[in-house]
A = this chain, B = another copy of it.
Amino acid sequence: MAGDGTVYEELKAAILRGDFSPRQRLVEVELSEDFGASRFQVRRALHTLESDGIVEHLPNKGARIREIGIDEAVEITEVRMVVEGLVAARAAERVSDEQAEALLDVGRRMRAAVEVGDVGTYSELNGVLHSSLRDIAQHHKANGIIARLHGQMVRHQFALSRVPGRPSVSVVQHENIIAAVVARDPMAAEAAMRAHISSVIEALRAIA
């Protein structure tokens, strides 16, 4: 029914929402029925998801959800570390006064959430902070790569958010990032971002 390219969006959203489990087969006709789309459109969506690194395609055996192990998750996060470092540095160069104030506000709300123990809000603010930095940096290429990598990390991202005690550690790192960006200090901003994501990598390894 839907002639748009929405099949891709919907299917991707469903996968990111966790509707499918790793290595689960994605049968074309099933999906086309579920989404009310033609097999043709499902096929194209699967192909795009494959180059997003979310789905893998085995010849003559169809598509399945790619399983991303700890090793690969670490690699992804390592790349994310340096690219988000670039974004942070660039944000420090370009941030406006209003944007700086907004960042400080996010920082304050993060600390408040941690003190109350509101993990959900903290996790949400975490996403807001990182995406705000991307908005400020306006580095199209970096943003695209980060988005792609993020899509591959959803499952581990979820696991990470459940590690107890992490918020109280990372809130300080986030404050350091914000302080450096607000101070218009690119080098410090990059260093702070890398320190932060570096600790995420350690937490990832600790899960395994």
Please give, as numbers and ranges, the residues of chain B lying within 8 Å of A79 by CB-CB distance: 83, 86, 139, 141-142, 145
A75 at the interface (CB under 8 A from B): yes
Interface residues on A, range: 20 to 34
A76 at the interface (CB under 8 A from B): yes
What residue in chain B is nearest A141 (Cβ atoms)?
B75
Please give, as numbers and ranges, the residues of chain B lying within 8 Å of A131 by CB-CB distance: none
A47 at the interface (CB under 8 A from B): yes
Give 3 closest A-B pairs by Cβ, nearest first. A51-B51, A82-B82, A75-B141
Could you jot down 15 A-B contacts, CB within 8 Å? A44-B47, A47-B47, A72-B140, A72-B141, A75-B140, A78-B86, A78-B139, A78-B141, A79-B83, A79-B86, A79-B139, A79-B145, A81-B86, A82-B83, A83-B83
